[in-house]
Each structure stands twice: as C-alpha cells, then as structure tokens.
Amino acid sequence: MANIKTGIEWTDRTWNPTTGCNKVSPGCTYCYAEALTKRFPKNFPNGFNLTLHHERLEQPRRWRIPSRIFVNSMSDLFHEEVPISFLQEVFEVIRQTPWHVYQILTKRHERLLELAPLLSWPENVWMGVSVEKQDYVTRIDYLKQVSAHVRFLSCEPLLGALQLDLKGIDWVIVGGESGQKYRPLKIEWVQDIREQCKDAGVAFFFKQVGGRTPKAGGRLLEGQIWDQMPEAWKHHQQQWEGYSVKATRKTDQAGMIASVQR
C-alpha cells in the first residue's frame, strides 16, 4: 500500500514518503488512512505511527508519464514528527521532477507557515489545506501566506456550511464523508460553496456526495458533474503533453535534473 494508482477523482496517483498520523480536528474522526492501516497491517508494520520512508523518495523520478500526484494520502506531510530535513528532500524531488504536479494537503497550517520559508516552492507544488467546518477557515489565512503557485482547499468531509474568503485561492474540492458511520452532507452546503467559487472565479470540484461507500451517493450536483481544475493544470498539460522521461537519466551540472524527451 505504498504509492499507487488511485480512485481519488482529482488526482492520478499517490505518493506516500511518510505514513501514519495523529488526529487534529473533526475531519479526522473517521480517518481513511487510519482505517486502511488497520485493514492491511502487513503493509503498515509500524501501524498508524508516523513513519518516514526514505526508500520512497526516488519513486516519482521513475514515473515517466506527467501526472497529478497527491502527496501523502496516508499521512500529513507537515506532521510535527517530520523533520525539516526530510521535508526539504521531498521538495527537492518535486523540484527535480517538473513533469509532475504535486498536490500537498495538510491540516497542520501552523507548521506549514512556520516551515514554508525553509522550503523552495517550485511551480509544480500545489499546496492545500483541509477546511471541513467553519471553525477551521483560519487555515486558509495561513495558506495564503505561503508562496505556492497554486493554493487549494479540500472541504472534505464537509461537515457544515462554509463562508469562505477565496481571494488568492485557485481551487476548491468538496466531498461528503463515506463509511459506516458517515456524517451526512447537506446538498445546500455544496451549492452554496459552488456559488461562492463562481462569484470568486475559483475552480470548483465536487468529488462525491458520500454515504456508506464512496460511490453510494454519486457525484452529481444538480444533475451535473463538477470536475473543474485550476488554470495551472491546463498550462501544465500543454507544457508537458507528449513528454516521457527517459529510463536512463542524465544529470545536469548540479547532478539533479532528469532529461526528458518527446
């Protein structure tokens, strides 16, 4: 259960240089990562304890097709036990693999802001925070102070109506909770966020209604699928369309960048 093709609609694959976490807010209550860890204990010998996987750092270099990569579906990259030196290594891999886009999502907005000046922010980092309830909109203020090229919000599992200040935000993902104990979504919460996105000119993505299974409620909102992506994604696709990474890499002067070819 390391780094896999994924069913998450807004990304192409996941990369988990760390696994394990601790719960920090109501969105964590039925944490999907924790449930997977319990279901597949052989794949997670350290359980849900924060674990660094140095051996996974090189993986994205081997993924030859330009992809959207969700960083840490099984953890939170800005967890307090992830050392800054490890974070810097992760960001360096990102910088050296510009054919991918990396979608990093955190609930640890304070540590994100604290460490952001110590990291380089290449264009292919999309940085996001989770906002599941109005009590956590302050995470957006922290995100806005980070020099990411694309900033996004994940309002999933959406647990209440939200009033969002979307200035400086490029993308909003909304989704209802799934699982046996799911907390039901009110469709008017979603409609309201979609209207706020429309008014602010922000891309809106509706992932799922939710229910006992992820697909139980479907993905339709007023009979329509909402799959909008940030403008930066279109530009990225245009830039890297038709490119694939050579299996044998050359290095540049700094010994870092993989060569690409059509």
Query: What residues make contact with ligand SF4 under the rule CB under 6 A?
Result: 21, 23-24, 27-28, 31, 33-34, 75-76, 107
- What is the token pair recorded at 163? 């009033």
CB of 104 to ligand SF4, least distance (A): 12
- What is the token pair recorded at 172? 């909003």
φ, ψ at 72 (rounded to 5°): 75, 65
Q: Which residues pair with residue 52 across a beta bridge?
A: 18
The nearer residue to ligand SF4, 21 or 127, going by C-beta atoms, is: 21
The nearer residue to ligand SF4, 67 or 72, going by C-beta atoms, is: 72
DSSP, collapsed to helix, strand or coil, labels residue 41 as: helix
CB of 195 to ligand SF4, least distance (A): 27
The nearer residue to ligand SF4, 15 or 226, going by C-beta atoms, is: 15
From residue 54, how far is each of 69, 87, 116, 198 by CA, in Å? 18, 11, 21, 41
86, containing H or E segment: helix 84-96
φ, ψ at 144 (rounded to 5°): -65, -20
Largest Cα separation within the chain, whole Å, is 55
CB of 51 to ligand SF4, least distance (A): 13
The nearer residue to ligand SF4, 8 or 28, going by C-beta atoms, is: 28
- What is the token pair recorded at 81? 């036990």
CB atoms within 10 A of CB 247: 7
The nearer residue to ligand SF4, 75 or 96, going by C-beta atoms, is: 75
CA distance 10 to 71: 12
CB of 106 to ligand SF4, least distance (A): 7
CB of 62 to ligand SF4, least distance (A): 25
CB of 191 to ligand SF4, least distance (A): 25
The label of the residue with tokens 């799934």 reads: 178
DSSP, collapsed to helix, strand or coil, labels residue 227 as: strand
The nearer residue to ligand SF4, 38 or 62, going by C-beta atoms, is: 38
Do the beta carbons of residue 58 and residue 90 sit within 8 Å? no
The nearer residue to ligand SF4, 107 or 194, going by C-beta atoms, is: 107
CB of 107 to ligand SF4, least distance (A): 4
